[in-house]
Amino acid sequence: MAEIIETTLDRVRALERAVDVLTRGRPIALPTETVYGLAADATRADAIASIYEVKGRPRFNPLISHVSDMEMAARHGLFDPVSRRLAEAFWPGPLTLVVTRAPGATVHALATAGLDTLGLRMPAGFAREVIAAFGKPLAAPSANTSGRISPTMAAHVADDLGSAIDLILDAGPAGIGLESTIVKVENGRLRLLRPGGLDAADIETVAGQRLLRQDSAGATLEAPGMLASHYAPGAAVRLDATDVRPGEALIRFGGTALSGEAAAVIVLDLSPSGNLREAAANLFSYMKQADATGARTIAFSAIPSQGLGEAIRDRLERAAAPR
């Protein structure tokens, strides 16, 4: 079973143990402000392979390389002026920038799936201290079995992967609760590859341009490896519900009661006051809580699509997709 260390109680030992496990080429569960990551040395093939093995990921998708400072970022990626401005404005934070690989970058091709680009993020909080102590970028997808709901608490990781890894760092619940927003500059235009924990409108303000959400053929842009069915609870998922059917669990938003909810298996409200930031932070743990009741279906009431609602709706649509 994995050792769990609370980072606020034992910061020094948490860093020492993390560096020790990472140096052996093994993955650790790393708290970031978005979700808990399964992190390993991004420069070592064996370390990256062990991430895929622990997650049971069917194929090698590109992973985000996490850095502790701008100097480390610039050793591995080439920053165009727009990407640099976004990094200065939003790092450390829930933004991943896909940039051209720098000559001499030592991030392993297994972490980039052989692409000549690289996803880079500087996370906030304890993750950043771990990377600084380790001195090399960490590749980290979310710390869950492939296809399942991302973990926002150390206990989620322990339940899912506790027997497969050596160390879980516990820094409390993730403050943002949704994975990072991913953007890429192409020919001077900014493309949204994944909506996430940073509001796309904030990115547009700093970049001084609109984000492209579709390619030239009109298809939705996506980061490679984004699966239609993802974030899947055991239960079926029904979106934009206006009532609750017998035997369903209800996850609602904004304090509005739905007809039939008195008979629901459980009723959870992502944000009774209608705050999308609060809703994002609660989303994954409420999905797990509703799923744990054994309800056959989880009904979700409508979530507004502006601001962080875009990312919340993206995750819900993946959770509801046919499996």
Helix (H) / strand (E) containing 62: none
**Distance of closest approach, residue 285 Cβ to ligand TXA, in angstroms:** 16
Which of 49/78 has CB closer to Mg ion? Answer: 49
| Residues 128-147 interacting with Mg ion (rule: CB under 5 A) | 142
Under rule CB under 6 A, residue 275 binds ligand TXA? no
| Residues 122-181 interacting with ligand TXA (rule: CB under 6 A) | 123, 140-142, 179-180
Two structure tokens written together for 116: 């000549």
Which of 189/323 has CB closer to Mg ion? Answer: 323
Q: Computed from CA positions of residues 214, 219, 225, 228, in that sequence, does the dihedral angle turn out positive or negative?
A: positive
Which of 148/313 has CB closer to ligand TXA? Answer: 148
**Distance of closest approach, residue 194 Cβ to ligand TXA, in angstroms:** 6
**Distance of closest approach, residue 174 Cβ to ligand TXA, in angstroms:** 9
| Residues 209-248 interacting with ligand TXA (rule: CB under 6 A) | 223-226
Two structure tokens written together for 134: 């380790």
Return the number of other C-beta atoms located less than 10 Å from residue 256's C-beta.
12
- Separation of alpha carbons 86 and 65, rounded Å: 17
| Residues 48-107 interacting with ligand TXA (rule: CB under 6 A) | 61-64, 96, 98
End-to-end CA distance of the chain: 31
Residue type, 127: A
Residue 142 is given by DSSP the state: B
289 CA to centre of own chain: 19
Q: Number of residues in contact with ligand TXA, rule: CB under 6 A? A: 29
Helix residue ranges per DSSP H, the chain: 11-23, 45-55, 70-76, 81-90, 109-112, 126-134, 154-161, 200-207, 276-292, 309-320
- CB under 5 to 8 A by kind: which of Mg ion, ligand TXA, none does 63 bind? ligand TXA
Stretch that binds ligand TXA, among 29-37, 40-48, 76-84, 246-254 (CB under 6 A): 29-37
The residues that touch Mg ion, with contacts defined as CB under 5 A, are 142
Residues that bind ligand TXA (CB under 6 A): 32, 34-35, 37, 61-64, 96, 98, 112, 115, 117-119, 121, 123, 140-142, 179-180, 182, 193-194, 223-226
